[in-house]
Structure 1
Amino acid sequence: MVTFSAALTGLTVDIDLRRGRRCAAVPVLDQVNLEVNAGRVTALIGESGCGKSLVAAALSGLMPPGSRVRGQVRIGDRELRAGDEAGWRALRGRHIGVVPQSAATSLTPVRTVGSQLAEICSRLGADRTPEQLCAAVALPASVVGRYPHELSGGMAQRVAIAAALAGRPALLIADEPTSALDPDNAALVWRLLGEAAADGAAVLVITHDLPSLLRAAVCDEVAVMARGTVLSHEPLEDTLSSADPYLRALLGTVPV
């Protein structure tokens, strides 16, 4: 596996929204600085609507239409711009893996899991078969013959992780990977992401489910967002000892 870190420096994003004949630029990210380090799991936390998913979009080159992006996006030793689709395509899959927020809807409903994973493996030149990828995420080999609607939520999430891991990416981005999962499946997902970091990947996890992430003991760093910017980025132990009221609320120790 190739290993590298990724970073955002001074990232500012406005999105053009058209209302009737008028077009207004709405600020969504403001001077975001964030580094996702190789071999570590970084949790990005904050209230809903603060811009966490747009940070993931910026690091994977998947910004929404109408975005005006300023600042730097560095993936390894490469600096990329939002409109450099050829550059992003060369990185996604092979070097950047993305676990989407809605795993089930990211799968094609009329094709088996195996055929979809096989296509991904072929495109990336992967060194594992669909059956081996399923085994890597604790799914039985029989899953390759199933259709997405035949999977439970936890199984669909693990298929999405298998797809993201197919190219052994150096940067793995997971957006709310345990939403709507029961505690056992959530713990399994966290373990898989922790194993990816142990193998050298830089892992960014966007989550509201910090308690279960902490129980899994795989988180190394915590970045805290509010109102479109990153307020702090510290090792986990420093975050847990912080007296900041907003952070204590996010951690669940005081009412939000």
Structure 2
Amino acid sequence: MSAARLTGLTVGIDLRRGRASAVVDVLDDVHLDIPAGRVTALVGESGCGKSLVAAALSGLLPPGSRVHGTVHVGGRQVRCDDERAWRALRGRHVGSVPQSAATSFTPVRTVGSQLAEICARLRSDRTPEHLCAAMALPAGVVDRYPHELSGGMAQRVAIAAALAGRPGLLIADEPTSALDPDNAAVIWRLLGDAASDGAGVLVITHDMPSLLRAQVCDEVAVMARGTVLSQAPLSDALGSPDPYTQALLGTVLV
């Protein structure tokens, strides 16, 4: 069962300068399947389109994007420009973990009050305290302000917020980029737990060594120049003879 699927997705952005107009394809015939209950890593060099894939799966493509192909979330096809549909999907069906968790929260309100607002909006069956406990955070964290959290704690709060509505699809964009190895391991374990609970988890990362050490990755999708070159189970990706894939995963193959 797929938590989400992209089929032949091509996205063009109009780079208008004055009266001149030129549409540039930033995603080109992307095919990607995110199975429920599994962690899929999306890897590729910087600028290849990984974050735009996340945007397409969240209904956050740049305004005016020219889109061909289909996006399915939870078995439902959704037009990329249907903002009303995406507002209904975000949080309850699609959860997102931002790269910079500390700046994703309002600085003048406590963590608990912000989580409580998210829980109320999504009609969650969990309280901020339950969510923080599930993230192995100390009980008093709900009374802290975002600037009082360490990087690892802020990232765990961001995951708690993303999971408040029990989404079927969880997208994490570079969730360990600013964390030390111990905190990175905790984040990968929590994302693996989300997959074990049934969510399809898509992680966009350059940190494959720590992800593989955590032993929670199930599949690897490889991107280059705006398209997905391959998607395969982890064992197949690690044994791939493709030089580009080897370069992306090579630090764990020596």
Q: TM-score range by the shorter chain?
A: over 0.9
CA 1:174–1:83 in 2, change beyond 3 Å: closer, same or farther? Answer: same
Report how far residue 30 of structure 1 moved. 0.2
- In the other structure, the counterpart of 1:171 is 169
Q: Distance in 2 between matches of 1:83 and 1:247?
A: 33
- In the other structure, the counterpart of 1:243 is 241
2:124 pairs with 1:126: yes
Match of 2:213 among 188, 212, 215: 215
- In the other structure, the counterpart of 1:105 is 103
Secondary structure at the residue paired with 1:19? coil
TM-score calculated relative to the size of structure 2: 0.96
Q: Distance in 2 between matches of 1:139 and 1:20?
A: 52
2:195 partner letter: A
Report how far residue 21 of structure 1 moved. 4.0
Report how far residue 20 of structure 1 moved. 3.9
Say whether the 8 Å CA contact 1:4–1:171 is kept in structure 2: no
Match of 1:87 among 79, 85, 88: 85
- In the other structure, the counterpart of 2:250 is 252
Report how far residue 252 of structure 1 moved. 2.6
Q: Distance in 2 between matches of 1:112 and 1:64?
A: 31
- In the other structure, the counterpart of 2:24 is 26
2:204 pairs with 1:206: yes
2:50 pairs with 1:56: no
2:40 pairs with 1:39: no
Q: Distance in 2 between matches of 1:115 and 1:221?
A: 36
Q: Distance in 1 between matches of 2:25 and 2:110?
A: 41
Unaligned runs of 5+ in 2: none
Unaligned runs of 5+ in 1: none
2:102 partner letter: A
Say whether the 8 Å CA contact 2:111–2:146 is kept in structure 1: yes
Say whether the 8 Å CA contact 1:4–1:170 is kept in structure 2: no
1:210 partner letter: M
Q: Which moved more, 1:58-67 or 1:194-203?
A: 58-67
2:3 pairs with 1:5: yes
Deviations 1:21-55 (A, max 9, x none): 43322210000000000010000000000000000
Say whether the 8 Å CA contact 2:107–2:146 is kept in structure 1: yes
Say whether the 8 Å CA contact 2:93–2:165 is kept in structure 1: yes
Say whether the 8 Å CA contact 1:174–1:204 is kept in structure 2: yes
Q: Distance in 1 between matches of 2:103 and 2:18?
A: 31
Report how far residue 253 of structure 1 moved. 4.3
Deviations 1:139-193 (A, max 9, x none): 1121111111111111111111000000111110100000110001000000000
Secondary structure at the residue paired with 2:27? strand
Q: How many residues align?
A: 252
Report how far residue 62 of structure 1 moved. 1.1
Report how far residue 64 of structure 1 moved. 1.7
Q: Distance in 1 between matches of 2:208 and 2:63?
A: 31
2:187 pairs with 1:189: yes
Q: Distance in 2 between matches of 1:186 and 1:217?
A: 12
Identity value in percent: 79
- In the other structure, the counterpart of 1:67 is 65
Two-structure CA RMSD over aligned residues (Å): 1.3
1:17 partner letter: L
